[in-house]
């Protein structure tokens, strides 16, 4: 067996509204990687789309201990990634210095251009191995509208929802949505995560404002019924044909809902319980549903599946 270290690119940042969340995630992953097994290239993509190479967490991230102020170091050298023979080569733009070959890319880019299939398509064109779902699975898992339709058509319960694709809706349209969903209503950009752009509307004026706010982040907006229940989540790992689910965990937000602030800025924003205090047979059903969803959405490698549970036998 070879003792050769794998050369890993940890790719993070990007032009998404979730840029800072990606930096936090990448720093956690970098610290968890076994440096005895892997040579790690830290590549931060800035908000203009330029790729920059860091040598360690100390020069790649600024204000790494403060989630509210963390940023990418813009003094890092700009690089380009080139296909050379059967490998990916990193080259500094100014000096033309090369940094060796890459065995696999670990994309830790949240949101647009990172989780939606864009960077996956780029890596596919380069014929470079990467971690996680491919183009289709990434795109389906990112688009809440398409994801919900596919899961619903497969018989998996999802929260009742409506979709708006432009801002030319009328008050009559909103009244019909309110009649179907009932207040309170959650309003979300269809293609973002980390609760960016999400609002909870309790009356008509708040709903209109929430929709306008969500359209600042995406061209498609999801309006979703409020489900009062326990919030559970499961990790799924493996190939699409033979995935395995983790134990079920539970999140108890201390804010009105599991918002961006409660996830990333407030250290007391939520409590987690692993495993969740639920009967074993219910846990098994949730794990089975997670695996089913993983397969339906063409996921690969890893995912997180979230649930709301109203009663022991009723979860979404």
| pLDDT tens digits, one per residue of 135-150 | 999 999 999 999 999 9
- Domains, the chain, in order of start with CATH, read 6-131 (3.40.50.20), 161-225 (3.30.1490.20), 227-315 (3.30.470.20)
**What pLDDT sits at residue 1?**
47
The Cα 310–Cα 316 span in angstroms is 8
Q: Does the structure show a pLDDT above 50 at 209? A: yes
- Whether residue 252 contacts residue 273, with contact meaning beta carbons closer than 8 Å, is answered with yes
The Cα 303–Cα 307 span in angstroms is 13
**What pLDDT sits at residue 98?**
82
- Whether residue 213 contacts residue 187, with contact meaning beta carbons closer than 8 Å, is answered with yes
Q: What is the largest CA-CA distance in the chain?
A: 68
The Cα 11–Cα 109 span in angstroms is 7
**What pLDDT sits at residue 3?**
67
**What pLDDT sits at residue 265?**
54
The Cα 57–Cα 45 span in angstroms is 15
Confidence band of 257 (pLDDT split at 50, 70, 90): low
| pLDDT tens digits, one per residue of 69-124 | 889 998 999 988 887 777 778 888 888 888 778 889 999 999 889 999 999 999 99
The gap from C-alpha 182 to its chain's centroid, in whole angstroms, comes to 28
- What the block records as the tokens of 45 is 């993509």
Rounded to two decimals, the pTM is 0.85
φ, ψ for residue 130 (rounded to 5)? -145, 165
φ, ψ for residue 175 (rounded to 5)? -65, -35
φ, ψ for residue 297 (rounded to 5)? -85, 10
Query: If you write DSSP's letter for every residue of 197-253 in order, what string do you get?
Result: T-EEE-SHHHHHHHHHHHTTT-S-EEEEE---SEEEEEEEEE-SSS-EE---EEEEE
DSSP state of 263: I
- What the block records as the tokens of 126 is 């380069």
Mean pLDDT over the full length of the chain: 89
Give the percent of the chain with pLDDT over 90. 61
| pLDDT tens digits, one per residue of 264-288 | 555 667 789 999 999 999 999 999 9
Region 212-237 average pLDDT: 93
Residue ranges of alpha helices (H) inside the chain are 19-32, 57-60, 118-126, 135-142, 144-153, 171-181, 204-214, 260, 280-296
Q: Using DSSP, how many helices (H) and how many strands (E) does the chain show?
A: 9, 19
């Amino acid at each position: 067996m070879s003792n050769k270290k794998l050369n890993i690119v940890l790719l993070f940042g990007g032009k998404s509204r979730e840029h800072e969340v990606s930096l936090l995630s990448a720093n956690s992953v970098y610290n968890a990687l076994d440096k005895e097994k892997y040579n790690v290239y830290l590549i931060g993509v800035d908000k203009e789309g330029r790729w920059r190479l860091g040598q360690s967490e100390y020069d790649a991230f600024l204000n790494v201990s403060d989630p509210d102020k963390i940023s990418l170091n813009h003094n890092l050298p700009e690089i380009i990634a080139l296909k050379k023979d059967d490998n990916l080569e990193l080259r500094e733009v100014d000096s033309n210095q090369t940094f060796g070959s890459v065995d696999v890319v670990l994309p830790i880019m949240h949101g647009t251009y990172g989780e939606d299939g864009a960077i996956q398509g780029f890596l596919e064109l380069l014929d470079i191995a990467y971690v996680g779902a491919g183009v289709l699975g990434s795109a389906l898992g990112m688009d809440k509208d398409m994801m919900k339709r596919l899961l619903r058509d497969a018989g998996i319960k999802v929260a009742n929802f409506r979709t708006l694709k432009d801002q030319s809706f009328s008050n009559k349209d909103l009244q019909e949505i309110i009649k179907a969903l009932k207040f309170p209503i959650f309003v979300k950009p269809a293609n973002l995560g980390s609760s960016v752009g999400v609002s909870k509307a309790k009356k008509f004026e708040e709903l209109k404002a929430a929709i306008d706010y969500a359209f600042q982040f995406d061209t498609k907006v999801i309006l979703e019924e409020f489900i009062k229940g326990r919030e559970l989540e499961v990790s799924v790992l493996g190939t699409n044909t033979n995935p395995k689910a983790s134990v079920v965990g539970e999140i108890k937000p201390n804010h009105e809902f599991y918002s961006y602030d409660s996830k990333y800025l407030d250290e007391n924003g939520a409590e987690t319980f692993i495993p969740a205090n639920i009967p074993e047979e219910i846990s098994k059903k949730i794990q089975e549903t997670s695996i089913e969803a993983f397969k339906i959405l063409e996921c690969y490698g890893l995912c997180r599946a979230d649930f709301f549970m109203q009663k022991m036998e009723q979860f979404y």
